[in-house]
Chains A and B, each alone.
Chain A
Amino acid sequence: MLSALDKYRHAFLVGLQSNLIYRWNFAVRGFFSLFHLAVVFILWGAAFAGTRSIGGFDLRQTLTYFITLLVLQFFVSAFNEDYQISEEIRNGLINQFLLKPINYFLYRFSIFVAARLVSGALVILPLLVALPFVHDVLTFPFEGWRIALGLPAIFMSAMIQFTIAYCFGMLTFWFLEIQGFVILSMAIEAVLGGQIFPLDLMSADIFAGSMLLPYPYQMYFPAAILTGRFGFEEAIWCLGIQACWVALLVMISRALWARGLRRHTAVGG
């Protein structure tokens, strides 16, 4: 069993090395994410100028939510995995995986984990720079269950991020160009993932409906647990929904791989 997993350890190590080559890209991206944080501070600071509470949360709680989201983004987001998978299919590079005793999904997941470790580590640098300016606004509820539920929620968020990106990559078996679908999905994720505004600020019906979709579990849900926007019972219930989405998306990705391979033609030698 362990020897079977060893190949994925090597894929992980190769992924680590290849992502470290582009460390400056991640660092630049991390640095510019501070500008996004500045936009958030300015906009919500202005919105809170005339009121003490929006949606039952004060300015500090709202800003803490956005800071948490920013950090999570570098640890769990799929940045360009869909594009990489698409390129491998389009250029015929996946042919080599068809002849080897390796699971393509696990191979890509190993590289994804390596990439997120690198981007997560590199976002710590700009965060340290920003810490003197933001530490006054940080306010986390210190309840043990939030960590206990938050950690599996973060792991499953990463799984959902990866499987959605993987499924989009698989679409290359049917469509030559997937970039349009990816960007459209990014826009939906941005809204329903809670990146534009905390989802609980929407009307109650729309919020309840959106929590049945996979998108809030990509980022909003773990951030909401950690920053006190969810109570214990709600969190348990949503953790169950999140686990269902992980299982369903893994099944969909396996089905797309199997169906896609039937359409695939390996050319050349």
Chain B
Amino acid sequence: MLHYGRIWLASVRYSIVRTMMFRGDFIVWSLVELFWMSVNLLLISVIYRHTDSVAGWNKYEMMLLVGTSMLIQRFLMGFFWSSIFEMGRNVRSGNFDFFLAQPGNIMFMATTRKLDPDGLANSIIAIGIVVYAANQLGLQPGVLDVTLYALMVFCGLVIHYSILVMSISLVFWLTSAHGVEGTYFTLTEFSRLPREAFKGLVSQVMFVWLLPVVVVSNAPARTLLDRFEFSWKWTLGPFLFAAAWFALAVFVFQRGLRRYTSASS
């Protein structure tokens, strides 16, 4: 464990030094992420110009939900996105060989090599959106609520990471992952919707429980919104989902790895 901690810290140091070298790039990417976040807020603003409630959620409740979803996604972008995205290209080009020779678990080495400080910088904006929305709603969460919120955000991060690793692992079968990484972004769109918007058994089973991206953002948002009910579904659900999806991601990655044949010149 300590060994992996040291490897990860070395990657952090490398990423920060690299960011300092390409400061312009850091600013452009920070703006890119900030703009995408603004797009989501703009959608809320436009919809609530024409209606007062979406599935029983008012404008600021919705903002809190979207802010939570953004927070999880910013963490994912900051900690893992570059490494996992490059993994798809490395498998195609044969540069993935480099990871096979490294002193550690291949999935860990391949998915944690690079940090993106721009993603992490924007997580502060996402926290700001959550705090602003909570303030507008007059919420005063206790320490326990905030701790539970943080834990659930962590579970959300694990679930998003697992889905992304599985999406990109398709490259072991498809040769090119181009466009496939977009599948992850499509799935995460569900995380910005309130749970109550999912009507009908099929959509509930498919989008809420089978692909738990809805639970990922709704569970922490509910803890802050005082909508939290102590039921196993909302308390243990995110933790169980996180463990199950992580195990599935490891399985798919390992199966894919068996198909890797390199690409020598």
Chain A positions within 8 Å of B, measured between CB atoms, are 22, 24-26, 28-29, 32-33, 35-36, 38-39, 42-43, 45-51, 54-55, 79-80, 177, 180-181, 183-184, 187-188, 190-191, 196-197, 201-203
Contact = CB atoms under 8 A, between A and B. Distances in A.
Nearest to A25: B179
Nearest to B178: A25
Interface string B189-231: 1100110111100010001000000000000000000000000
A25 B43 contact: no
B207 A38 contact: yes
Contacts of B31: 184
Contact of B54 (A29, A47, A187, A203): A47
B236 to A, nearest CB: 26
B50 interface: yes
Given A35-B186, A42-B193, A50-B52, A28 B47 contact: no
Nearest to A37: B186
Contacts of A183: 29, 32
A180 B28 contact: yes
Contacts of B49: 201, 203
Contacts of B51: 47-48, 50-51, 54
Range class of the B interface residue count: 35 or more
Given A184-B35, A187-B36, A32 B52 contact: no
Contacts of A32: 182-183, 186-187
Contact of B43 (A36, A46, A177, A197): A197
B174 interface: yes
Interface in B151-199: 170, 174, 176, 178-180, 182-183, 186-187, 189-190, 193-194, 196-199
Interface of A is mostly: helix
A177 B198 CA distance: 41
A50 B179 CA distance: 37
30 contacts: A25-B178, A28-B174, A28-B183, A29-B182, A32-B187, A35-B183, A36-B186, A36-B189, A38-B190, A42-B207, A43-B54, A46-B193, A46-B197, A47-B47, A47-B50, A48-B51, A50-B53, A51-B51, A54-B51, A79-B179, A180-B29, A183-B29, A184-B31, A184-B32, A184-B35, A188-B35, A196-B42, A196-B43, A202-B46, A203-B49
A28 B180 contact: yes
A183 B72 CA distance: 20
B39 interface: yes
B178 A39 contact: no
Contact of B189 (A28, A39, A180): A39
A201 B43 CA distance: 10
